[in-house]
Structure 1
Amino acid sequence: MKRKEQQLFENYLKGRLSENRKKLVEEFYEMESRRTTGWDTLRMGNKEDVKRRIKPRPVSGNSRRRIPIVNIAASLLLALAVSFIVFVSLPKNPPVEMVEKTTAYGQTSTIHLEDGSTIWLNAGSTVSYPKHFPSGSRQVNLVGEAFFEIRPDVSRPFVVSTPTMTTTVLGTSFNITAYHRDPTTITVSTGKVLVQRLPAAPLSPSKREMILYPNEQVVLKGYDSPMSRASVNAERYSSWRTGEYFLDQMTMGTLAGTLERRFGVRFIFHDEQLKDCQLSGRVKKQSLSALMELLATTLAIEYKIDGKKVHLYGRSC
Structure 2
Amino acid sequence: MPPTDESTDAGTARAPRADPGSGSADHAATGSDPRPSTDCEDTLDLRLTDELIALFAADTGARDGTGEGTAAYGIPDGSSGGSPGGDLYGSSYGSSGRDPSGSPDPFPVEDDLLDQVGGWGPTKTPAGVFQLVPVRAGRDVSLLHRWMNDPAVAEFWELAGPETVVEDHLRRQLDGDGRSVPCLGVLDGTPMSYWEIYRADLDPLARHYPARPHDTGVHLLIGGVADRGRGLGSTLLRAVADQVLDRRPACARVVAEPDLRNTPSVSAFLSGGFRFSAEVDLPGKRAALMIRDRALRELL
Fold shared per TM-score above 0.5: no
More strand by percentage: 1
Output the TM-score relative to the length of structure 2.
Answer: 0.26
Output the TM-score relative to the length of structure 1.
Answer: 0.25
- Higher RCO (CA-CA < 8 Å; seq separation 6+): 2
Rg bigger for which structure? 1
